Amino acid sequence: MLAVKGLRVSLTTKNHGRSILRDLSLNVQEGKVTALVGQSGSGKTTAALAMLGLVNFYIQGATVQGEVLFEDRDILRMSRGERREILGTYVTFIPQSAYAGLNPFLSIRRQSLEVAARTGISPRDALARFKTLLGLLDLANTEAVLDSYPHQFSGGMRQRVLIAMALLNNPRLLIADEPTTAVDRTRQV
């Protein structure tokens, strides 16, 4: 489903270039869990962002080389529109920080409907599915959650909302960057 071949990320500053990620290759098979494990600062987040073709949104001046094939289509060579079609529909990402994934100016209801609109699911069905996911993630009183804004939640609650949004479209591939970092230990799976 996902084949990463020779993925490299480098950063060029005024004075010199620096390699951030060197020659990462891996295969992710459908229905299987694949984990990148390493110490803080080892490049796991950079690898995830590079696989999604998003590294330049987070790291100015970064250069990405290699191939990231999702169903034999290279994400790194896609136009922005093609990549947007894939991301959020077939491939979703859960960032380590929920602040990076939630819009502080939109209600959770509005954001969930925007996510669901990518697949053409009706708003009613989308909200029903989203409420189910919120319940599974131990967020009771789903109507109150839907009518709230991200700043009204703790970090762990925001993270669980973001996980529910990532699962809303039933993606074929889910890339998660330490998704339970802010979640209480009793709720981590």
How far, in Å, CA of 155 to CA of 180, rounded? 10
Shortest CA distance to 160 belongs to which of 141, 128, 123, 133? 133
Structural domain contains residue 39: yes
My answer on whether 181 and 101 are in the same domain is: yes
Q: Which of 78, 106, 124 is the last residue of a domain?
A: 78
Structural domain contains residue 83: no
Structural domain contains residue 171: yes
Whole-prediction pTM: 0.84
pLDDT digits (tens, 9 = 90+) for 111-125: 999 999 988 889 999
My answer on whether 170 and 105 are in the same domain is: yes
Q: Which of 52, 78, 104 is the last residue of a domain?
A: 78
pLDDT at 126 over 90: yes
My answer on whether 74 and 98 are in the same domain is: no
My answer on whether 178 and 102 are in the same domain is: yes
Both tokens of residue 34?
């694949």
Containing domain of residue 63, as a range?
A: 2-78
Both tokens of residue 80?
């922005």
My answer on whether 164 and 93 are in the same domain is: yes
Mean pLDDT over the full length of the chain: 90
For the domain that residue 105 is a member of, what is the CATH number?
3.40.50.300
Edge to edge, the sheet with strand 17-28 lists 17-28, 2-12, 62-70, 73-74
My answer on whether 125 and 167 are in the same domain is: yes
Phi and psi based region of residue 157 (left: phi greater than 0; alpha: psi -120 to 50; beta: remaining): alpha
Q: Which residue has the tokens 């989203």?
A: 130
- Give φ, ψ of 103 to 5 degrees: -85, 120
My answer on whether 145 and 70 are in the same domain is: no
Cα–Cα distances in Å, from 161 out to 54, 132, 143, 146, 179? 22, 12, 13, 10, 11
Q: Is 107 strand, coil or helix?
A: coil
pLDDT digits (tens, 9 = 90+) for 25-84: 999 999 899 999 989 888 899 999 999 999 988 888 889 999 999 999 999 999 999 998
